[in-house]
């Protein structure tokens, strides 16, 4: 059976879905991925502030399931993913099991997984319409894309909520999902990192993690780049505050916690993530509507982790591939 599938979102879940389809379904199935950003990888993100680079989304990830471990194995073998053994401090440890990072940057995993796929970047899908059983997607510039047999919405839950039609069967599960914001401070220092820790887990209510980005495998070690994530609750309480004021507050706390001298900072920037973490998940691998041929996937289906995004996207993609791999006799 042939078909054309659109995936909205080229974060890990959208890319895992695309890979699951292209690995399993016949050549006749075409996949097109849309992303509003310039690149791929979504919240597995890297900010460039020459000469510094900051992984300002996910810091590292863990692999607890056999499926994700198997997917990572060839990437570890090729060096696209590397184990990270940070020296931790304050109230360590937080995550159990080995920690992994994409190398040489967190966004390089998205690039690697996107290789060979049909990806349309800088294209924000704003609405979708089904005509004669086929989906048409309209982007922010008014261009209509299509026609698609299936659409997989691989964007954060509030953005999926805005895109999916009111009649989407699993909408009640989507409505349960709650995502939380995080402020991220990025600090650049001259010279190599000389501290005796690579990750600090502060205990106060403002900062969640302080990570020496430049200590990760494959990074430029001649400079020091530090990423600080604020706690979700603290961010939520200050979400509309003036960003430079938030950055200064985070730097003051960083000085207190780390003992570092803020006068040595050569570069500073802040980013606000509105959908950084998941406090209420949908509770199943992916959401779907078999009548409308619509799926939704993302970390928010399970939990706010890289591995959960992969599990969700991979499951949604395998489900769609199964549709195209069906033999006529399967329906008999």
| Interacting residues with ligand FAD (CB under 6 A) | 8-14, 34-37, 42-44, 57-61, 124-125, 154-156, 159, 182, 184, 229, 273, 276, 298-299, 304-306, 309
Provide, rounded to whole angstroms, the least separation between the CB of residue 331 and ligand FAD. 32
Give whichever of 25 and 276 is closer to ligand FAD, judged by the CB atom.
Answer: 276
Token pair of 181, please?
């914001």
- Rounded to 5 degrees, what are φ and ψ at 315? -70, -40
Tokens 């890319």 correspond to 15
In angstroms, the CA 30 to CA 303 distance is 29
Provide, rounded to whole angstroms, the least separation between the CB of residue 7 and ligand FAD. 9
Give whichever of 49 and 325 is closer to ligand FAD, judged by the CB atom.
Answer: 49
Provide, rounded to whole angstroms, the least separation between the CB of residue 28 and ligand FAD. 25
Contacts 24+ apart (CB under 8 A), 168-172: 168/287, 168/289, 168/292, 168/294, 168/296, 169/288, 169/289, 169/290, 169/291, 169/292, 170/282, 170/287, 170/288, 170/289, 170/296
Give whichever of 25 and 125 is closer to ligand FAD, judged by the CB atom.
Answer: 125
Provide, rounded to whole angstroms, the least separation between the CB of residue 177 and ligand FAD. 12
Token pair of 110, please?
């998205």
Give whichever of 11 and 188 is closer to ligand FAD, judged by the CB atom.
Answer: 11
Q: Is 51 helix (H, G, I), strand (E, B) or coil?
A: coil
Provide, rounded to whole angstroms, the least separation between the CB of residue 77 and ligand FAD. 21
| 275-291: burial string, b at 16+ Cβ within 10 Å, e else | bbbbeebbeebbbbbee
Give whichever of 217 and 325 is closer to ligand FAD, judged by the CB atom.
Answer: 217
Give whichever of 228 and 260 is closer to ligand FAD, judged by the CB atom.
Answer: 228
In angstroms, the CA 46 to CA 272 distance is 14
Provide, rounded to whole angstroms, the least separation between the CB of residue 24 and ligand FAD. 19
Give whichever of 96 and 331 is closer to ligand FAD, judged by the CB atom.
Answer: 96
Provide, rounded to whole angstroms, the least separation between the CB of residue 120 and ligand FAD. 9
- Rounded to 5 degrees, what are φ and ψ at 154? -115, 55
Residues 6+ apart with CB under 8 A from 318: 20, 24
């Amino acid at each position: 059976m042939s078909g054309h599938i659109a995936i909205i979102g080229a974060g890990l879940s959208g890319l895992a879905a695309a890979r699951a389809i292209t690995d399993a379904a016949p050549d006749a199935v075409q996949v097109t991925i849309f992303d509003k950003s310039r690149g791929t990888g979504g919240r597995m993100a890297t900010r460039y502030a020459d000469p510094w680079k900051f992984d300002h989304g996910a810091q590292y990830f863990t692999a607890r399931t056999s499926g994700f471990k198997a997917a990572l194995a060839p990437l570890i073998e090729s060096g696209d993913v590397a184990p990270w053994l940070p020296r931790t401090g304050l109230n360590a440890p937080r995550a159990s099991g080995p920690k992994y990072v994409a190398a040489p940057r967190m966004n390089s995993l998205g690039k690697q997984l996107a290789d060979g796929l049909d990806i349309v970047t800088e294209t924000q899908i704003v609405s979708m319409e089904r005509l004669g059983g086929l989906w048409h997607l309209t982007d922010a510039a008014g261009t209509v894309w299509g026609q698609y047999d299936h659409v997989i919405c691989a964007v954060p839950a509030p953005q999926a909520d805005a895109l999916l039609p009111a009649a989407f069967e699993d909408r009640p599960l989507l409505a349960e999902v709650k995502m939380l914001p995080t402020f991220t401070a990025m600090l650049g220092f001259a010279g190599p990192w000389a501290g005796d820790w690579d990750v600090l887990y502060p205990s106060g209510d403002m900062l969640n993690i302080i990570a020496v980005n430049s200590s990760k495998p494959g990074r430029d070690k001649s400079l020091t780049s530090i990423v600080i994530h604020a706690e979700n609750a603290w961010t939520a309480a200050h979400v509309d505050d003036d960003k430079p004021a938030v950055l200064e507050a985070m730097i003051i706390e960083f000085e207190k916690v780390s003992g570092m001298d803020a006068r040595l900072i050569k570069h500073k920037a802040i980013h606000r993530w509105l959908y950084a973490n998941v406090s209420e998940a949908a509770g199943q691998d992916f959401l779907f509507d078999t009548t409308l041929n619509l799926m939704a996937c993302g970390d928010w289906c399970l939990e706010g982790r890289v591995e959960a995004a992969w599990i969700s996207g991979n499951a949604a993609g395998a489900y769609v591939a199964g549709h195209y791999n069906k033999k006529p006799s399967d329906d008999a």
